Structure 1
Amino acid sequence: MQPLPSASLGIYADEELVKRLPGFTNHYATVNGVRLHYVEGGHGPALVCLPGWPQTWYSFHPIATELARHYRVILVDIRGMGSSDKPATGYDKKTMAQDIYELLRYLGLAKASLLGHDIGGMVASSFAFNYPQATEKLIIADGAHPSEGMRHMPLLPAAGSFTQKMDDQHPYPWWMAFNQVKELPEQLLAGRFHLLLDYLFGYVMLDETRMSAFDRALYAAVYNEPENIRASNAWYQAFEQDIADAQQYARLSMPVLGIGSYVSYNYLQMSLPYLADDVRVVGLMDSGHYMFEEKPARVLEAVLDFLQEPAAQ
């Protein structure tokens, strides 16, 4: 059953946002015990796009229309995001990958390529590990699968490195720890999420003006609700299970592309070869973490070149 329009969000409701993407339409599907919201447009081979924190399906709007000229583009609000359900459990990336697999089955798709950003990249990676037969190609943008390396993140930033912009040599993602805290973040941030967003965009983007006032207001409207903060933090609180699951996975055999911003390129370049046999990494060294907004043309070039490259025989 489809929900009524999100009247409380006004111009930021999905029913209004989708009008900004000609040829795209809103949909809902109940799969794996959870109702997912997704937006679909275009024709051709399937490309499933999974967003990250703290955004929604709309984060792909700078590149979605061009991608839809070549592919059947499916932009998904992952479990706990946007208009998708926010259950009490199921935020480990293996369960979230199953959500996406069941969505593909619902859509009658045997196989798809996946493009995931941030947390969405973690879910896309888990999908590839757990459903290699359903994965054509994997693209992760600043968001690889959780690993033991997370345990080595510093409690304190390196001396002199914690300034207005994230240091590419000593990145300090303090929200990884903050989002582990239960109940307190939603009490602090409900109705005030714009404060976190403005700080975050300024810290991890090289050109924060590329995140428009409309987009900022949209994400603030979505994440202002306590339940939405609780659910999105649950993605981080499941890292322990994600790390344990990673110990059981075999190497990936499908082609894998990593797209790294100035703070993630070196990490992806070092880590991805340990996970897959066919890997390439593109560095957008003049872009921060929110690369779809900062460098959409560069992202499109990397994604389309990779997807259109013939598979090795």
Structure 2
Amino acid sequence: MRSYNRTAMFAVVLIAVVTTTAAKRAEAQSDPYAGIDVSEASLVGELSGFSEGFAKVNGIRLHYVEGGEGTPVVLLPGWPQTWWAYHKIMPALAERYHVIAVDIRGMGASDKPEGGYDKKNMAVDVFELMESLGYEKAHIVGHDIGSQVTYAFAANYPDATLSATFLDVPGLDDAVLGLKLLPEPGGMSEKATPENFFLWWFAFNQVKDLPEDLIAGRAHLYEDWFFNYLMVDQSDMSERDRAVYAHAYNSRDAIRAGNGWYQAFPQDIVDARDYSDLEMPTLGLGGFGYYWIANFLETHAESYQIEQLEGVGHYVMEEAPDAVTGYLLEFLEDAETN
């Protein structure tokens, strides 16, 4: 009887250990960044001289972070990030300019309405934000989806655009209709390169409802794949950075809103057919997206500078902040003096 009790007790303890271990593993998978403070207050507090604000524009509320004095430089981030994507370059820019990093419509702490994600309408958001802050003109800088909004802004508000900068992604035009449906023979590579990257998510993000079912609560799994595929050196994006972005896209509303930017692509392409060539000073900085930007600027810009960032992937502000800052500061100064 005593031996039986010991065996039973051992079985109970073993079951408890296994159950606890499984629970911990499940918890880690569902929230690997538990305990990391990603609140807006903590993020803004890390940038000396910066503060956050909200503005009611074009029927929604936009969140932005601003700092520095001088001519305004509006920073527009892309998917799957937030204004925090610019945090490595904002302090240096703020030494000469008034920096305004924006959570575009559907992003971060900004509103996530059901519609309005065509880039022409999102340019209205940015224009009205500038007006609310008392500015008639600004330098506009965009990365990824933010680059597409930059193009729409510059094309629709040329008098308000002192310069336009495209970071690793250009504006949208008919060239997007020719993107590959399948990868190269032999299958998809583990890492993108400037010569070969397969944008399968452009199609996946067109689907309604299913991405929310698959990704909600597991955004880190989805995003970590992209950071691995589109970055050269994974250490350039910290665990804290990844936690910020996973948190920002972990809900159904956030996934729906972010995918709304992609679902508006067909309308964006139609709108772009009526845009005139960009006449303001224009800069393109590309890692993986260098050739895409170069082809776009050759077609749509009258006066442009294009630079390739060697050994850099898609997330150029994180991967090469010093190079991006250097090129950008030199370009902005030239744009204002020439």
- Asked if TM exceeds 0.5, the reply is yes
Q: What do residues 98-135 of structure 1 show as CA deviations (whole Å, max 9, x unaligned)?
A: 00000011111010001100000100111000000000
Q: 1:211 aligns with which of 237, 241, 250?
A: 237
Residue in 2 that maps onto 1:299: 324
Amino acid at match of 2:159: Q
Q: 1:228 aligns with which of 230, 251, 254?
A: 254
CA distance in 1, matches of 2:36, 2:51: 18
Q: 2:200 aligns with which of 153, 170, 174?
A: 174
SS in 2 for 1:259: strand
**Any conservation in 2 of the 1:161–1:167 contact (CA below 8 Å)?**
no
SS in 1 for 2:100: strand
Deviation at residue 141 of structure 1 after TM alignment: 0.3
Range with bigger deviation, 166-175 or 119-128: 166-175
**Any conservation in 2 of the 1:36–1:84 contact (CA below 8 Å)?**
yes
> Are 2:108 and 1:93 equivalent residues in the alignment?
no
Residue in 2 that maps onto 1:250: 276
Q: TM-score, normalised by structure 2?
A: 0.88
Residue in 1 that maps onto 2:8: none
Deviation at residue 150 of structure 1 after TM alignment: 1.2
Q: 1:268 aligns with which of 289, 293, 315?
A: 293
Say if 1:302 and 1:89 are closer, same or farther in 2 by CA, change over 3 A.
Answer: same
Q: How does 1:123-202 map to 2 (within 5 A)?
A: 123-160=149-186, 162-202=188-228
CA distance in 2, matches of 1:285, 1:205: 12
Range with bigger deviation, 165-174 or 295-304: 165-174
Say if 1:161 and 1:253 are closer, same or farther in 2 by CA, change over 3 A.
Answer: farther
Residue in 2 that maps onto 1:120: 146
CA distance in 2, matches of 1:252, 1:139: 11
Say if 1:191 and 1:296 are closer, same or farther in 2 by CA, change over 3 A.
Answer: same
Say if 1:152 and 1:70 are closer, same or farther in 2 by CA, change over 3 A.
Answer: same
Deviation at residue 167 of structure 1 after TM alignment: 3.3
Deviation at residue 269 of structure 1 after TM alignment: 1.4
Range with bigger deviation, 149-158 or 240-249: 149-158
Unpaired segments ≥5 residues, structure 1? 1-7
Amino acid at match of 2:307: V
**Any conservation in 1 of the 2:167–2:286 contact (CA below 8 Å)?**
yes
Q: 1:288 aligns with which of 313, 327, 331?
A: 313
Larger radius of gyration: 2
CA distance in 1, matches of 2:258, 2:312: 24
CA distance in 2, matches of 1:270, 1:119: 18
SS in 2 for 1:138: strand
Q: What do residues 181-224 of structure 1 show as CA deviations (whole Å, max 9, x unaligned)?
A: 11100110001010011111010001111110001111111110
The RMSD of aligned alpha carbons is 1.4
Amino acid at match of 2:210: L
Say if 1:48 and 1:310 are closer, same or farther in 2 by CA, change over 3 A.
Answer: closer
**Any conservation in 2 of the 1:161–1:170 contact (CA below 8 Å)?**
no
> Are 2:277 and 1:277 equivalent residues in the alignment?
no
Say if 1:290 and 1:241 are closer, same or farther in 2 by CA, change over 3 A.
Answer: same
CA distance in 2, matches of 1:27, 1:10: 23
Q: TM-score, normalised by structure 1?
A: 0.95
**Any conservation in 1 of the 2:162–2:335 contact (CA below 8 Å)?**
no
CA distance in 1, matches of 2:148, 2:82: 15
Amino acid at match of 1:278: S
Amino acid at match of 1:302: Y
Residue in 1 that maps onto 2:102: 76
Residue in 2 that maps onto 1:64: 90
SS in 2 for 1:188: helix
The alignment covers a number of residue pairs equal to: 305
SS in 2 for 1:162: coil
CA distance in 1, matches of 2:324, 2:225: 24
> Are 2:86 and 1:54 equivalent residues in the alignment?
no
